[in-house]
Amino acid sequence: MAFLLRRLAGVVPTLFGVVVAAFILTRLLPGDPAVFFANSVTADAVTIAAVRQKLGLDLPLWQQFLVYAGQLLRGDLGQSVGTGQPVATDLLRLLPASAELTLVAFALAILVAVPLGVAAALRPGSVIDHACRLLSTAGVSLPTFVSGLLLIYIFYYQLGTAPEPIGRIDPFAIPPPGITGFLLIDTLLAGDTAGFAAAARQIVLPAVTMALFALAPLARMTRASMLGVLGSEFIRTARANGLRRRKIIVSYALRNALLPIVTTLGMVFSNMLGANVLVERVFAWPGIGSYALDSLISLDYAPVQGFMLLMATIFVLVNLVIDLLYAVIDPRTGLFHA
C-alpha cells in the first residue's frame, strides 16, 4: 500500500511537467491561430486582431499559462474551435470509442500472438516459426490504412459480409443509453442483443486491422523471451525430473517469460490507444487519435493540450498497472512486501 501511495505521489510532478510541456509545445507551433481562424476572404487586420483577443492570444505567454492553469484547476480543459464543443466533453465522448476498439483489438492480438510466439519458440525453425515470422513481418510492414482498405474491399465491397465500415453503429439503429460509453457493454446492459450483435459486427474489421499491427511486437517478444527461458537451467532440471511437458511450458517457462511480454503489452496498448489515427480515419471511427490530429493541423491549442494531458495520464496509469502486474507475476520484485 505504501508502494502504491508512493507511486501515486510520483504522478503529480509528472503531470505538472506534461501540462507545462503541452502548453509550450503548442505555442511553438509555427502558425498563427488568429490568422487561421479569421478565414473569410473579407477578414482584414482588424478582424484578425479581434479574433486574437477573443482567443486570449493577445496576452503575454506567462499570462496565457496562468489562465490555462487556472482553467485546469477548475477542471476546464478549454474550448475546441474545431468541434465547437468543450474539450472535456469531446474527450469523454471519444475516449470510450477509442478504448473499446483498442481493447477488442488488444485482446485479439494477445489471443493470437502469445500462443503463436510460444509455439514458435518451442519449435524454432519449424513451419510454425516461419509462419510467426511471416505474420509479424507482414504486420509491421503493412501500413494499417493498406490492410484496413484491403479488408474493406474484400469483406464489404466484394463479399458484402461485413457491414458498412462507417462508425461504431449502424446509422439507422438506435444506440443504447450511454452508461459506460462502450457500445458492446451498454447494449448488453440494456438487454439489446440485436444491438450487441450489430456493434460487434461493426467493430470486427477495424479491430482486426489494429490487431494485425499490434501482433508483430507481441509475437516476437513472446518468442524471444520464451526461447531464452526454455534454454535456462531450471527448465532443464524440470525436464530431467520428468515433469509433464504442459506443466513445464505453462507453469515454469511461460510464467518466467511473462515479464518482458507484459512490458511490451503496456507499450503496445498505450500506443494503440492514441496513435491509431489511420484506422480511425479509414473506418470513420470517432476516436481521440484523429481528433487530436485534426486539432493539431488546425492550430487548435486547447484540444491538443487536453489530449496530451489525457494520454499522459493514461500512460502513467498503464505503467502503474504493469508495475503491479510484475509483483503478481514475479514475487521476487517484492513490491508488496518491501
Residues 20-39 that bind other proteins (CB under 8 A): 29-33, 35-39
Q: How far is the CB of 285 from other proteins (least distance, A)?
A: 10
Q: How many residues bind other proteins (CB under 8 A)?
A: 74
Which among 135-143, 189-197, 301-309, 316-324 is the span making contact with other proteins, rule CB under 8 A? 316-324
320 touches other proteins (CB under 8 A): yes
92 touches other proteins (CB under 8 A): yes
Contacts with other proteins in 269-298 (CB under 8 A)? 281-284, 286, 290-291, 297-298
Cα of 225 vs its chain's centroid, Å:
24
CA atoms in the 13 A half-sphere facing the CB of 325: 17
Residue choice 44, 73, 74, 159 for contact with other proteins (CB under 8 A)? 44
CA–CA separation, 221 and 113 (whole Å): 9
10 touches other proteins (CB under 8 A): no
Which among 68-76, 108-116, 230-238, 314-322 is the span making contact with other proteins, rule CB under 8 A? 314-322
Cα of 226 vs its chain's centroid, Å:
26
191 touches other proteins (CB under 8 A): no
194 touches other proteins (CB under 8 A): no
Contacts with other proteins in 129-158 (CB under 8 A)? 145, 149, 152-153, 156-157
Closest CA to 306 of 60, 64, 15, 28: 15
CA–CA separation, 21 and 28 (whole Å): 10
CA–CA separation, 26 and 305 (whole Å): 7
89 touches other proteins (CB under 8 A): yes
Q: How far is the CB of 183 from other proteins (least distance, A)?
A: 8
Instruction: State which amino acid sits at residue 61.
Output: L
Residue choice 115, 177, 331, 334 for contact with other proteins (CB under 8 A)? 177
Residue 79 φ then ψ, to 5°: -120, 135
Residue 36 φ then ψ, to 5°: -65, -40
- In this structure, the number of other CB atoms found within 10 A of the CB of residue 177 comes to 10
3 touches other proteins (CB under 8 A): no
CA–CA separation, 218 and 107 (whole Å): 12
